[in-house]
């Protein structure tokens, strides 16, 4: 059974600024989340309800999971740099 992927408008806007070669990797990672959102380099975020992040190269895909309705809501797609943390 597959999961429904919902990409927030902010995340859609962030996707437009990503280089093509990285965009291919990210979209492949997002499509893979439809089969199993917990497969891959996933970390549960602290202090948030059902908040997770998936690492795709130098980018991070932040999302929430609604297990009851099997929906993955992607809220942000950000590049990880040395000044991020």
Contact (CB, 8 A) for 53 and 60: yes
Give the model confidence (pLDDT) of 4-58 as tens digits.
999 999 999 999 999 999 999 999 999 999 999 999 899 999 876 779 999 999 9
Place of tokens 């437009």: 16
Give the model confidence (pLDDT) of 51-80 as tens digits.
999 999 999 999 999 999 999 999 999 998
Residue ranges and CATH numbers for the domains of the chain are: 4-79 (3.30.2310.20)
Question: From CA 54, how far away is CA 29, in angstroms rounded?
Answer: 9
Task: For residue 30, give the nearest of 17, 45, 12, 44 by alpha carbon.
Answer: 12
Contact (CB, 8 A) for 38 and 54: no
Residue 50 CA neighbour count, 13 Å, CB half: 13
């Amino acid at each position: 059974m597959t999961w429904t992927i919902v990409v927030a408008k902010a995340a859609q806007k962030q996707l437009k600024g990503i280089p093509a070669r990285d965009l291919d990797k990210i979209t492949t990672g997002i499509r893979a989340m439809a089969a199993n959102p917990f497969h891959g380099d996933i970390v549960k975020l602290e202090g948030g309800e059902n908040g997770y992040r998936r690492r795709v190269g130098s980018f991070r895909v932040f999302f929430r999971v609604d297990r009851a309705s099997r929906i993955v809501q992607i809220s942000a797609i950000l590049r990880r740099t040395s000044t991020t943390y």
